[in-house]
Amino acid sequence: MTIGARIPRVEDERFLRGEGRYVADIAMPFMVEAYVLRSPYPHAHIRSIDASEALALDGVEAVITASDLPDDLPPIPCRIPTHGDLGPYLQYPLARDRVRYVGEPIALIIAKSRAVCEDAAELVEIDFDPLPPVVDPEAAIKPDAALVHEAGNLAGRWGFDLGAVDDALKNATYVVSEKFSIQRHTAMPLETRGLIASYDVGRNLLDIHGPTKVVHTNRNVLAAMLGMGEAEIRMVEPDVGGSFGARGEFYPEDYLIPFAAIRLRKPVRWIEDRIEHFAAINHSRESAFEVTACADAEGMITAFDVRLVTDMGAFIRTHGDVVPSHAAASFPGPYRVRNYRIDAMTVMTNKTPTGTYRAPGMFEANFARERALDRLAAKIGIDPAELRRRNLIPADMMPWHVGTESVKRPTIFDSGNFPHVFERALEAYGWDAPIEREADGWLRGRGICALVEPSGLGPFEGVRIEVDQHGYATIFSGSSNQGQGHETVLAQIASSILGLPVEKIRVRHGDTGIITFGGGTYASRTAVLGGNAVHSAAVGIRDKALKTASAKFDIPLEELSLREGEIWHGGKNEPVISLGGIARMLMPGNPEFLKPPSDMNMPDNDGLVVTSYIRGVPGGTSAFAVHMADVLVDPRTGDTRVENYFVACDIGRQLNPLIVEGQLIGGVAQGIGGTFLEELTYSEDGQLTTGTFADYMMPNVYNMPPVGTLVLEETKAPGNVLGVKGVGEIGPSGVPAAIGNAIADALKATSGLNILPLTPERVLAAASTVERP
Amino acid sequence: MTHHQVELTVNGSKVSMQVEPRQSLADALRSQLGLTGTHLGCEHGVCGACTIIVDGEPVRGCLMLGVQAEGAEVLTVEGVSPSEGLSPIQEALREHHGLQCGFCTPGMVMALHHLFTITPSPSEDEINEAISGQLCRCTGYQGIVSAAKAVAQKQRENRSHDTTVNGKENSCRSA
């Protein structure tokens, strides 16, 4: 069986040799380059735009502003159900008479080179009338706040009220109330975005290279915005340098570049630079929680009462309010808490719009909940692990209905033996092992975070498998790949059914021209849904091949089997026929039949081809994970050093342990960035002040502790035949909680460490609250 | 804008490029010579994706101008890849899952190539230092460091089996 094999990836060779083909590596004859002129103001009226000097510059082809776009152009829609109507907050591709964040597109400049575009941008005269910017979400919802949109700064207020929270609070023996805030930061893939659009005017065909993540959805959105048929547009994903949720959503440029290609009737290429990327890509994570958690005398958690304020930025983008929605739906985590209330507010500000980043809402909620639980454990006077142990949802209560919903789907933890996995995790890490509390004036602490990571969400996924006459199989997948390793793992699944080596199985993905429908890649869904679709289609190929061989050679079906790409009859030494041979027999117009079998034209075979679409389980599937860390803290300086990091998880079944480990460790690295380093900060006047890699610090090799993993295949996901659960988002999801708890443990601090990132200043502030000898 | 003719050696071949004075060397290699293995991740010298070797030293291709490369010897990822398959460094990165999206990978390969050129069997500290200027957003670096350690180990083993030639140890340029 190839499923579960720890094999290196088939896609690696081209990347290692520098032969990956990313969007900036693609060029076309007569191609021109585009540049997006962006707002330098966070909030201003646009009085006038004069592009005449720019247009006069040699090499400039066009300067497109909002007045050049169709009057009836709709804004970019949400692609996900939202809490209430967020229509008034949607973004148009170009600002019309007002800008609302630094970086908002105002004009598209097209010229023979990017450099000439930038020269021209200097010559565009825009008369702005600045308005007061709204930067802080708490200030934004005060009655006298300036308005980002006429519809009001409070875009949504909603929540859940389950059980009897007030009674639980009244009867509780232990209560803690804490405020937490998670800073604005984002995915920051190493490759910036880019698009190249070309238009065939005679045939009304539009080709776009560069989209990723949800190409079918984006194609349909673009078709509606341009008034074209869906099949008249082809979106093709090249190699992609990371997404982590942010890249591949439908952004203003995803309309503007194709629009320009149609208007100019020339291929138009836009390659975002890093400075643009900082202001233009969806930001994420900025949220504030107020958490009251309470427990009875036995240390059973009796309620969570939560207030959540999420900064949405200046517009609602394609993700709608999915980030706070996921946070609210899953806040109670892996604990059997039936009394749960949350009051969630989504707030507009004059900052870059927001969307998802790996473990959206979960990173945030896990930090707030798990830090609060450590406070609760301290108050009760029990070990943090013991509090969690007492409250984990037991296996016999699965599936666990949280009682909430997100994006109109119920939040259900489908399966798992949380207590068992928890004990395995503690044991593997050595949670109870003694800890040397001091070393050279540094203090050592140990922290934990338990979490549930939902995955495999979204309505469906599909693949088509085709086998050619030489015995090569190709999987045409509806999902997209930004580095995760789909070309290997999807091939492994097909290989395990067809018996072909993975080298004979090609995987193509992210292309609306190769498969009719596709869900795309988000919510750790490809292994769960795409994998299920590959399995189903491969089984279909096997069955079709065996039936064809049975009929052709007159051998009972039950005496035939498929092994190593060939069909075998019982104990015979020679295969009956190869898979390629069957593919040849099933070709329409099969050359073996020189004469038509009747005097009439008739339907013919359609090849050794099977298409399979899989409808997703409404609640997806959920993986349980435990993060643990040992951290050294210098109470004199606030400096910290993570000595050891560990993630244990139950993901049902591993498709490729090498890739699973890579996802976990790489995810932890992003979590470490979010815990200590990364922050998109704004000045009071609404300017992004960490807009380069010199200011926005991402982890380098020195920031990484050794990361250990324990990957269990304990409880198969009941909703898919492979039993797999998503692994991609477990890595970052628990990092700030486990590390925050470890630092608090080191310092024996009973306040502070609730604001991310955990900078030396904040650690020092927490240290200073504790009296030391 | 005027163009300048620049003559240089790239991956062992003498070439000539027409560059604008403001064009970076990385840009010129990509657009003039089609050497798209050199990636641009930030264009302000931090991420290291554009790392190439110029006259024996690792250089940010985005911070050096094309016109500065007159007469230089430039080595890119295309130049360190064998005609088929993978070099020992590249193979180790694959074995140890030292890459995911592949975007930082050419820069990482070049940084390690340089390390193994000057230090045939580097220590873990030397490996960390060599890649400390290379950002990778996907892997968390663990696989990259493991790969480099494995190559270093192999080099040590090879060296201990090698006989010395003319009193000198064989250099390990094969990495």
DSSP A690-732: --STTTS----GGGPPPEEEEEE--S--TTSTT-----TTHHH
Q: What is the largest CA-CA distance in chain A?
A: 102
A 647-666 residues inside an 8 A Cβ radius of B: 658-659, 661-662, 665-666
What percent of chain A lies above the pLDDT cut of 70? 99
Q: Do A665 and B139 touch (CB under 8 A)?
A: yes
Q: Do A702 and B132 touch (CB under 8 A)?
A: yes
Say if A44 falls within a structural domain.
yes
A452, A464: one domain:
no
- Contact (CB, 8 A) for A484 and A240: no
Both tokens of B64, joined, read: 């050096």
- Contact (CB, 8 A) for A303 and A165: yes
Both tokens of A15, joined, read: 């990347």
Say if A152 falls within a structural domain.
no
pLDDT score recorded for residue A660: 98
Bond prior to A757 in cis (omega within 30° of 0)? yes
Which residues, in sequence order, are CB contacts of A54 under 8 Å at separation 6+?
Answer: A60, A63, A109, A120, A121, A123, A124
Name the closest residue on chain A to residue B143, using Cα atoms: A662
CA A624 to chain CA centroid, Å, is 18
DSSP B171: P
Instruction: Tell me if chain B has a CB within 8 Å of the CB of A675.
Output: no
- Compute the nearest-CA separation of B97 from chain A (Å): 7
Where among A589, A615, A641 does a domain terminate? Answer: A615
A427, A334: one domain:
yes
Please name the member of B43, B81, B94 whose beta carbon is closest to the beta carbon of A18: B81
| A538 pLDDT higher than 90 | yes
Instruction: Tell me if chain B has a CB within 8 Å of the CB of A115.
Output: yes
End-to-end Cα separation, chain A, in angstroms: 61
Cα distance between residue A339 and residue A304, in whole Å = 7
Q: Residue written as tokens 């690792």?
A: B58
Say if A757 falls within a structural domain.
yes
Residues of chain A contacting B86 with CB distance shorter than 8 Å: 13, 16-17
Name the closest residue on chain B to residue A278, using Cα atoms: B42
Please name the member of A16, A191, A482 whose beta carbon is closest to the beta carbon of B41: A191
Q: Do A665 and B140 touch (CB under 8 A)?
A: yes
Residues of chain B contacting A728 with CB distance shorter than 8 Å: none
Q: What is the pLDDT of residues A231-277, one digit of tens each?
A: 999 999 999 999 999 999 999 999 999 999 999 999 999 999 999 99
Say if A517 falls within a structural domain.
yes
Q: What is the pLDDT of residues B106-118, one digit of tens each?
A: 999 999 999 999 9
Strands A205-209 and A233-236: parallel
A494, A505: one domain:
yes
Q: What is the pLDDT of residues A134-170, one digit of tens each?
A: 999 999 999 999 999 999 999 999 999 999 999 999 9
- Compute the nearest-CA separation of A189 from chain B (Å): 6
pLDDT, mean of residues A40-62: 98
Number of domains in chain A: 3
- Compute the nearest-CA separation of B71 from chain A (Å): 24
- Contact (CB, 8 A) for A43 and A131: yes
| A1 pLDDT higher than 70 | no
CA dihedral A368, A371, A374, A375 (to 10 degrees): -80
pLDDT, mean of residues A309-333: 98
- Compute the nearest-CA separation of B147 from chain A (Å): 13
Give the residue among A273, A104, A12, A448 at the shortest CA–CA distance from B109: A12
* Residue A531 confidence class, pLDDT cut points 50, 70, 90: very high
Name the closest residue on chain A to residue B139, using Cα atoms: A666
Q: Which helix (H) or strand (E) holds A209?
A: strand A205-209
| A315 pLDDT higher than 70 | yes
- Contact (CB, 8 A) for B115 and B130: yes
| B142 pLDDT higher than 70 | yes
Say if A160 falls within a structural domain.
no
| Strand ranges (E), A69-191 | 98-99, 105-111, 125-130, 154-162, 174-182
pLDDT score recorded for residue B2: 86
A704, A757: one domain:
yes
Instruction: Tell me if chain B has a CB within 8 Å of the CB of A11.
Output: yes
* Residue A312 confidence class, pLDDT cut points 50, 70, 90: very high
pLDDT, mean of residues A695-710: 98
A535, A635: one domain:
no
Q: Which helix (H) or strand (E) holds A662?
A: helix A657-672
Give the residue among A541, A549, A543, A547 at the shortest CA–CA distance from A576: A549
Cα distance between residue A293 and residue A290, in whole Å = 10
Query: Which residue ranges form the domains of chain B, and what is each CATH number?
Result: 4-80 (3.10.20.30), 88-161 (1.10.150.120)
Where among A615, A646, A663 does a domain terminate? Answer: A615
Please name the member of A17, A668, A693 whose beta carbon is closest to the beta carbon of B77: A17
A209, A121: one domain:
yes
* Residue B169 confidence class, pLDDT cut points 50, 70, 90: very low
Q: Which helix (H) or strand (E) holds B151?
A: helix B142-161
Residues of chain A contacting B60 with CB distance shorter than 8 Å: none
Both tokens of A540, joined, read: 């279909």
- Tell me the HSE value of A81 on the side-chain side, using a 13 A CA sphere: 10
A486, A382: one domain:
no
Beta bridge partners of A270: A195
Q: Lowest-pLDDT range, A421-435, A458-472, B157-171? A: B157-171
| A93 pLDDT higher than 80 | yes
pLDDT, mean of residues A480-505: 95
Q: Which of A701, A707, A727 has the highest number of chain B CBs within 10 A, making it the mutation to test binding with B? A: A701
**Cβ contacts from A onto B, under 8 A:** 171
Where among A226, A258, A280 does a domain terminate? Answer: A280
Q: Do A242 and B105 touch (CB under 8 A)?
A: no
Give the residue among B158, B164, B114, B163 at the shortest CA–CA distance from B134: B114
Cα distance between residue A98 and residue A47, in whole Å = 9
A 209-248 residues inside an 8 A Cβ radius of B: 239-242, 244
Say if A358 falls within a structural domain.
yes
Q: Which amino acid is at A652?
A: G
Please name the member of A693, A699, A701 whose beta carbon is closest to the beta carbon of B145: A701
Instruction: Tell me if chain B has a CB within 8 Å of the CB of A701.
Output: yes
Residues of chain A contacting B38 with CB distance shorter than 8 Å: 18
What radius of gyration do chain A's Cα atoms show?
28
A471, A488: one domain:
yes
What percent of chain B lies above the pLDDT cut of 70? 91
Say if A40 falls within a structural domain.
yes
Give the residue among B40, B51, B104, B147 at the shortest CA–CA distance from A483: B104
The domain that holds A555 is classified in CATH as: 3.30.365.10
| B167 pLDDT higher than 80 | no
Q: Burial of A603 by CB count in 10 Å (0-12 exposed, 13-18 middle, 19+ buried)? A: exposed
Instruction: Tell me if chain B has a CB within 8 Å of the CB of A58.
Output: no
Q: For residue A295, what are the domain limits?
A: 287-408+420-457+619-768
Q: Do A704 and B78 touch (CB under 8 A)?
A: no
Please name the member of A242, A665, A692 whose beta carbon is closest to the beta carbon of B137: A242
CA dihedral B62, B65, B71, B77 (to 10 degrees): 10
Both tokens of A578, joined, read: 């190869």
Say if A473 falls within a structural domain.
yes
Name the closest residue on chain A to residue B104, using Cα atoms: A190
A 482-501 residues inside an 8 A Cβ radius of B: 482-485
Cα distance between residue B36 and residue B50, in whole Å = 10
pLDDT score recorded for residue B164: 43
Residues of chain A contacting B78 with CB distance shorter than 8 Å: 17-18
| A594 pLDDT higher than 90 | no
Which residues, in sequence order, are CB contacts of B157 under 8 Å at separation 6+?
Answer: none
A565, A627: one domain:
no
- Compute the nearest-CA separation of B164 from chain A (Å): 32
A449, A580: one domain:
no
Beta bridge partners of A688: A682
pLDDT score recorded for residue A598: 72
Where do the H-state alpha helices sit in A392-453? Answer: 418-429
Q: How far is CA A758 from CA A181, A324, B23, in A?
A: 11, 22, 40
- Tell me the HSE value of A94 on the side-chain side, using a 13 A CA sphere: 25
Burial B122-131 (b: 16+ CB within 10 A, else e): beeeebbebb
A636, A495: one domain:
no
- Compute the nearest-CA separation of A32 from chain B (Å): 14
- Contact (CB, 8 A) for A6 and A656: yes
The domain that holds A96 is classified in CATH as: 3.90.1170.50
Please name the member of B43, B132, B138 whose beta carbon is closest to the beta carbon of A274: B43
A222, A327: one domain:
no
Q: What is the pLDDT of residues A186-233, one digit of tens each?
A: 999 999 999 999 999 999 999 999 999 999 999 999 999 999 999 999
For residue B139, the tally of other CB atoms under 10 A from its CB is 26
pLDDT score recorded for residue B173: 42
